[in-house]
Amino acid sequence: MKTIGILALQGDIEKHARIIEKAGAQSIPVKTKARLEQVDGLIIPGGESTTIGKLLVRFSLMEALKVKIHNGLPVFGTCAGTILLAKEIKAGNQVKLGIMNITVSRNAYGPQIESFETDIILSLYKDTTEQFRAVFIRAPIITRIGKKCEVLALFENRPVLVREKNILTATFHPELTDDMRIHRYFLEMVG
């Protein structure tokens, strides 16, 4: 059985764990380098990217995690996770993994619509488009994607689910609905 780590420093950990188990894999919380060695894939949950970034340093996970991802560990970042994985954070000077070739703008939907739920267009597989009910919570906007990035979902014509090789990132929270399609897709990436 595949073992999926959920980075458990801060943020929405439980719900990812539940959906991963429901999708047929094992989930373990990751707070140490030793734990990181045991996983076949890792989820970096939503939360507060500045806090998670600081805790990654404090728990001596930052460098180890960067190396693991560079070496191909499948990783799935949601919301704050996406911000941490992005190479560039607009007008932001915070500690980050900085690995995926995208630029994000934090809290970019503005204070009036900090959180909202909407249908997005999902195209996980070639020539398929489906709807997905997506929950956005103080979400970032991906303002630039690199050449090797694949856009797997769009909202208002902007990418909200993007893959670059072994890295998958969503600006919304797919763990907050009972819909397992995106977590299943991640499990397929894990192989």
Give whichever of 137 and 190 is closer to ligand GLN, judged by the CB atom: 137
**Structure tokens belonging to residue 119:** 């249908």
Is 149 one of the annotated active-site residues of the chain?
A: no
Q: Is 152 in the site for ligand GLN (CB under 6 A)?
A: no
- CA 105 vs CA 84, 163, 167, 171: distances in Å: 12, 18, 19, 11
Q: Describe the strand order of the beta sheet including 141-145 as a list of residue ranges.
A: 86-89, 100-105, 141-145
Applying CB under 6 A, among 20, 42, 44, 47 the residue interacting with ligand GLN is 47
User: 85, 76 in Cβ contact below 8 A?
Assistant: no
Whether 70 sits among the annotated catalytic residues: the reply is no
Does 138 interact with ligand GLN (rule: CB under 6 A)? yes
| Stretch touching ligand GLN by CB under 6 A, among 26-34, 46-54, 124-132, 182-190 | 46-54
- Using CB atoms within 10 Å of the CB of residue 49, give its burial: 0 to 12 exposed, 13 to 18 middle, 19+ buried: buried
Using the minimum distance from each CB to ligand GLN, give the nearer residue, 36 or 83: 83
Q: Is 175 a catalytic residue?
A: yes
Q: Is 129 in the site for ligand GLN (CB under 6 A)?
A: no
Q: How far apart are CA 65 and CA 68, in angstroms?
A: 5
Asked if 101 touches ligand GLN (CB under 6 A), the answer is no
Instruction: Spot the catalytic one: 16, 79, 164, 183.
Output: 79
Name, in order, each residue with C-beta under 8 angstroms of 93's C-beta and a sequence gap of 6 or more. none
Residues with active-site annotation: 79, 173, 175
- Residues at the contact surface with ligand GLN, assessed by CB under 6 A: 46-49, 79-80, 83, 106-107, 137-138
